[in-house]
Amino acid sequence: MATMPYRDALRLALHEEMTRDERVVLMGEEVGLYGGAYAVSKGLLDAFGPERVIDTPISEASIVGVGVGAALTGLRPVVELMYVDFLGLVMDQVGNQAAKWRYMSGGRLTVPMVLRTQGGTGRSAGAQHSQSLESWIMHVPGLRLVMPATPADARGLLTTAIRSDDPVVFIEHKALYALKGEVPDEAEPIPFGRARVAREGSDVSVITYSRMVHVALEAAERMREQGVAVEVIDLRTLNPLDLDAITASVRKTGRAIVVSEAHKTCSVSSELAVLIYEHAGDALRAPVRRVAGKDVPIPSAPALERAAVPSVDEVVEAIVGTGLGKERAHA
């Protein structure tokens, strides 16, 4: 095991897969000379040259369109969309092209493309550079959706994504790039659709993903002081979704909290809550509670930005609301 930041784990996966398979190419704005907006691709241009690490013009539709075409004709492109907020510029290429070619060709054509992007809050980047838009992708059949919470998962899931024959949207949280954690010495691809039990517990299940895993773990530790055992499920991928892991956890604890940084209305948290009711509703001892992003544009002011997304206090209050523990003063 080696300890490294999340961004270095991503770079390691890219380097390993580009070394293993010459069809893997990286393209996007500033991925070469600059090393990527968050330094994920730093050094890859020197290692693999400008034919495989390609700095593109500032035209998101063109970048992703070229990626789809390259994937259809034999390459395995990793395309970087600098911010997930730019999905609106590429939804035809992603939702109408990449997602549908396998189906429309009867399986004769595949689009083995990874669309790497980053989202979420934490850097006061404002309303156009801080969103969590995973529900847009989750709604489209044919797209895999990956949102790792740890350096080990970032490396293992990106490895799987690059080797996948399906188009994968791989969303990295901007507040996690500096997070350090242990990463295996050898490449270990992590299967899609397999959630991780980040913390075992018997009293309530917190279902979450990406940066909110760490918020949930902190809330769980606070509840431990009150004698409440919180189970935290890190989904890791939203398509495919590990419904078995969700159901098993909720049936064990009888209580469920869904935590998501994305806006609350018509969202990932909405879908997860309904699935819990459909598949484990008879085991619930309290209504499912959601802790999600507020339905407002993300503010730039740090204090307002923090108020717009779930906090540890809000997760604790939701757990207490299921009938466990007691409310305590905000930390």
Helix (H) or strand (E) holding 11: helix 6-20
134: burial class by Cβ within 10 Å (0-12, 13-18, 19+)? buried
Taking a C-beta distance cutoff of 8 angstroms, is the pair 272, 135 a contact?
A: no
Question: Catalytic residue numbers?
Answer: 60, 129
The whole-number pLDDT of residue 330 equals 44
Fold classified for 2-183: Rossmann fold (3.40.50)
Taking a C-beta distance cutoff of 8 angstroms, is the pair 236, 147 a contact?
A: yes
| CATH topology match: 2-183 vs 196-321 | yes
- Tell me which residue has tokens 């593109």: 56
Distance CA 237, CA 112 (A): 17
The whole-number pLDDT of residue 326 equals 79
243: burial class by Cβ within 10 Å (0-12, 13-18, 19+)? middle
Provide the token pair at 166: 């399906």
- Report which of 183, 178, 175, 179 is spatially closest to residue 155, judged by C-alpha positions: 183
Distance CA 98, CA 238 (A): 18
| Boundaries of every domain in the chain | 2-183, 196-321
- Tell me which residue has tokens 């020197």: 46
Distance CA 28, CA 18 (A): 16
Distance CA 145, CA 143 (A): 6
Mean pLDDT per 10-residue section of the chain, whose length is 331 residues: 97 98 98 95 98 97 98 98 97 98 97 98 96 98 98 98 98 98 94 98 98 98 96 98 98 98 98 98 98 98 97 98 74 41
pTM for the model stands at: 0.96
Architecture of domain 196-321: 3-Layer(aba) Sandwich (3.40)
Contacts of 280 (CB under 8 A, 6+ apart): 246, 247, 250, 251, 256
